[in-house]
Homo-oligomer: A and B are copies of this chain.
Amino acid sequence: MAKPTVRPRLFKGTRDRLPAEMIRREKVISVVRQTFERYGFDPLETPAIEHWDILTGKYGEEGEKLIYRLAYKDARTIALRYDLTVPLARVVAMNQDLPKPFKRYQIQPVWRADKPGRGRFREFYQCDIDSVGLASPLVDAEIVAVIAESLRALEMPEFTIRISSRRLLNGLAAFVGVAGRMVRVPLRAGVDEPAGDGEDAFREIAAPVALFRAMDKVDKIGVEGVRAELERIGFEAEAIDRTARLLEYDDGNEETIAFATEIVGDDEDGRAGLAEVAEVFRGAAEMGAPAERLKIDLSLARGLDYYTGPIFETVVTEPKIGSVSGGGRYDDLIEVFGAKAVPATGATLGLERIITVLDEMGRLDAAPTRTRVLVAQIGDGMTEEALRVARDVRDAGVPTEVRFAPGKLGKQIAYAEKRGIGVVVIVAPDEIARGEVGIKDLAKREQVTVPRTEVGARTAAIVGAGAA
Q: A residues engaging B (CB < 8 A)?
A: 1, 3, 5-11, 14-19, 22-23, 26, 37-40, 42-51, 53-54, 57, 68-72, 76, 78, 80, 87, 90-91, 93-95, 98-99, 103-104, 109, 111, 113, 122-123, 134, 136, 138-139, 142, 283, 286-288, 305-306, 332-333, 335-339, 369-371, 383-384, 387-388, 390-391, 394, 397-402, 404-405, 415, 418-419
In the complex, residue of chain B having the shortest beta-carbon distance to the beta carbon of A386? B286
Asked whether, in the complex, the Cβ of A1 is within 8 Å of the Cβ of B333, the reply is yes
Q: A18-B95, A384-B286 are in contact. Are A138 and B47 (CB under 8 A)?
A: no
With most chain B CB atoms within 10 A of its CB, the pick from A46, A95, A397 is A46
Inter-chain CA distance A18–B91, complex, in Å, is 9
Q: Which of B9, B16, B134, B390 contacts A44 (CB 8 A)?
A: B16
8 A-B residue pairs with CB within 8 Å: A16-B46, A16-B94, A37-B399, A42-B369, A48-B109, A70-B70, A134-B404, A287-B391
- In the complex, what distance in Å separates the CA atom of A94 from the CA atom of B70? 27
CA distance A134 to B403 in the complex (A): 11
Given contacts A38-B394, A99-B415, A394-B39, A306 and B405 within 8 Å (CB-CB): no
Contact between B5 and A111, CB atoms less than 8 A apart: no
A122 to chain B: which residues have CB within 8 Å? 49
Q: How far is the CB of A272 from chain B (nearest CB, A)?
A: 18
| Complex Cα–Cα for A418 and B39 (A) | 18
Give the docked Cα–Cα distance between A87 and B397 (Å): 30
Q: Is the CB of A1 within 8 A of B306?
A: yes
Q: How far is the CA of A339 from the CA of B134 in the complex (A)?
A: 57
Contact residues in B for A113 (Cβ distance below 8 Å): 72
Interface core residue of A38, A98, A286, A336 (most chain B CB under 10 Å):
A38
A109 to B81, CA, bound (A): 14
Which chain B residues lie closer than 8 Å to A19 at the CB level?
A: 42-44, 104
Are B91's CB and A11's CB within 8 A? no
